[in-house]
């Protein structure tokens, strides 16, 4: 793998045509071998994470947990990741750390093994925190690798990278239904093999990362600037944070509680409910691949408009649908809503040039943190009311997408400057 990555990376970093412009030689070739490898590592990483979410019904029964405690597990994992990710990204913007990726996956491996033998709720929280530490390193650094290998197609690269994670997230509930639920808590340790494979892949990516010219020229990335004043940039970032809030609070209601919703409303068995969760997460994976390339072609602001505000009619219908239409609506919601994050992330990176890692860490961190807070808040709301009521409340969240009107036309300004 080292040989293939290195050779293809060199092909993507230099043009064989000596007459080509020097500035173009490093941005015109998309290194698909590296994008494929980092996407595969993302698949393994997020498969492990979603596996933990999918076994919540088993943990609830085994440890006699309340919905509030279930939300606390998610909160511990998400907050650990969200607090550290921007710091990791900011540090590596200044001092790139090519081999931090396999080290971060080592934390995930440790948390996974610990969760398989956890005797009580407190140890479950420690295991969740370790997995969160692994994510805090993986996401900003792997997002940087995707941008380095993009060849200028930043939206496409982020979509390919994120679709790996979403595909992994969709596999977690399926594997939980087939393996963990029938064999119990200790079978979680079997998935340490996936973490070990990811460590090997990430070590090879680290070698490519170390040799890439951008690793030595990260300070020069500040050269590309747009004309927006600082206050306008901060206001636009605040709008993006609110849009991420609406997306991930809603996703928290699905990721953490959709199985409970289906069991409560339609009396499905646990395994059947997990299959429905798998279908939703597969729809998210399919939708993710759309947002980036479409944003490259028509503009990211339009993608954000459609993916956040455009999903509102379907979320508003969901709490009142029967089982068939619930399945249909969740697929539509997954596809449409998933296209937002790639567009938001690349748009934010264009707002603050030269801070790829910090911006990626900030937004992945917000995504994790808001998802964790959402899981905890919605868990408390479910305990106080009902799961059905949670979905009625969350159905209004995508209406926040109307704030997209306040985002500046960064891409238009960049095109005029060019």
Tokens of 51: 């596996």
Q: Residue 151 in contact with residue 27, Cβ under 8 Å?
A: yes
Distances (CA, A) of 139 to 119, 313, 334: 30, 31, 21
Tokens of 113: 């093994």
Confidence of residue 331 (pLDDT cuts 50, 70, 90): very high
Domains and CATH numbers, the chain: 31-417 (1.20.1250.20)
Question: 126: buried, middle or exposed (CB in 10 Å: 19+, 13-18, 0-12)?
Answer: middle
pLDDT above 50: residue 221: no
**What integer is the mean pLDDT of 95-123?**
88
d(CA 399, CA 210): 43
- Which range (92-101, 185-194, 218-227) has the least confidence? 218-227
pLDDT of amino acid 2: 45
Residues contacting residue 225 through CB under 8 Å, at least 6 positions apart: 353
Average pLDDT of the residues of the chain: 82
Distance of alpha carbon 245 from alpha carbon 239, whole angstroms: 10
The structure tokens 């040039």 sit at 353
Query: Residue 370: pLDDT above 90?
Result: no
Name the more confident of 226 and 264.
Answer: 264
Rg (CA), the chain: 21
pTM: 0.69
Q: Is the pLDDT of residue 308 over 70?
A: yes
**3-state secondary structure (DSSP) of residue 225:** coil
Residues 6+ apart with CB under 8 A from 230: none
Instruction: Assess whether pLDDT exceeds 50 at residue 133.
Output: yes
User: Is there a contact between 135 and 41 (Cβ–Cβ < 8 Å)?
Assistant: no
In this model, does residue 213 exceed pLDDT 70? Answer: no
């Amino acid at each position: 793998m080292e040989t293939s990555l290195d050779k293809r990376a060199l092909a993507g970093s230099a043009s064989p045509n000596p007459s080509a412009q020097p500035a173009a030689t490093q941005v015109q070739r998309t290194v698909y071998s590296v994008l494929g490898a980092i996407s595969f590592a993302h698949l393994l990483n997020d498969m492990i994470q979603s596996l933990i979410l999918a076994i919540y019904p088993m943990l609830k029964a085994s440890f006699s947990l309340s919905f509030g405690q279930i939300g606390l597990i998610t909160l511990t994992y998400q907050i650990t990741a969200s607090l550290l990710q921007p710091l990791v990204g900011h540090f590596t913007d200044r001092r790139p750390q090519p081999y931090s990726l396999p080290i971060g996956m080592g934390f995930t491996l440790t948390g996974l093994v610990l969760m398989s033998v956890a005797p009580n709720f407190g140890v479950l929280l420690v295991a969740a925190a370790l997995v969160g530490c692994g994510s805090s390193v993986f996401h900003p650094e792997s997002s940087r690798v995707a941008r380095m290998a993009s060849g200028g197609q930043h939206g496409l690269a982020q979509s390919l990278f994120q679709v790996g994670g979403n595909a992994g997230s969709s596999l977690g509930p399926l594997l939980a239904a087939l393996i963990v639920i029938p064999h119990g808590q200790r079978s979680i340790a079997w998935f340490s093999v996936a973490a070990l494979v990811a460590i090997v892949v990430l070590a090879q990516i680290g070698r490519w990362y170390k040799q890439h010219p951008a690793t030595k020229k990260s300070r020069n990335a500040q050269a590309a600037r747009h004309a927006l004043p600082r206050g306008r940039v901060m206001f636009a970032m605040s709008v993006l944070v609110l849009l991420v809030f609406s997306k991930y609070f809603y996703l928290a209601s699905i990721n953490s509680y959709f199985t409970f919703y289906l069991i409560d409303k339609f009396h499905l068995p646990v395994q059947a409910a997990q299959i429905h969760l798998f279908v939703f997460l597969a729809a998210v994976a399919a939708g993710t691949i759309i947002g980036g390339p479409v944003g490259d072609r028509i503009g990211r602001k339009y993608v954000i408009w459609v993916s956040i505000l455009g999903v509102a009619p379907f979320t508003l219908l969901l709490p009142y649908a029967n089982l068939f239409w619930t399945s249909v609506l969740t697929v539509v919601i997954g596809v449409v809503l998933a296209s937002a994050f790639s567009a938001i992330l690349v748009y934010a990176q264009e707002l603050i040039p030269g801070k790829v890692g910090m911006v990626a860490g900030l937004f992945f961190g917000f995504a994790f943190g808001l998802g964790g807070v959402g899981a905890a808040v919605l868990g408390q709301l479910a305990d106080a009311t009902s799961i059905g009521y949670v979905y009625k409340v969350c159905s209004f969240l995508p209406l926040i997408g109307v704030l997209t009107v306040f985002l500046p036309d960064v891409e238009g300004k960049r095109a005029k400057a060019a």
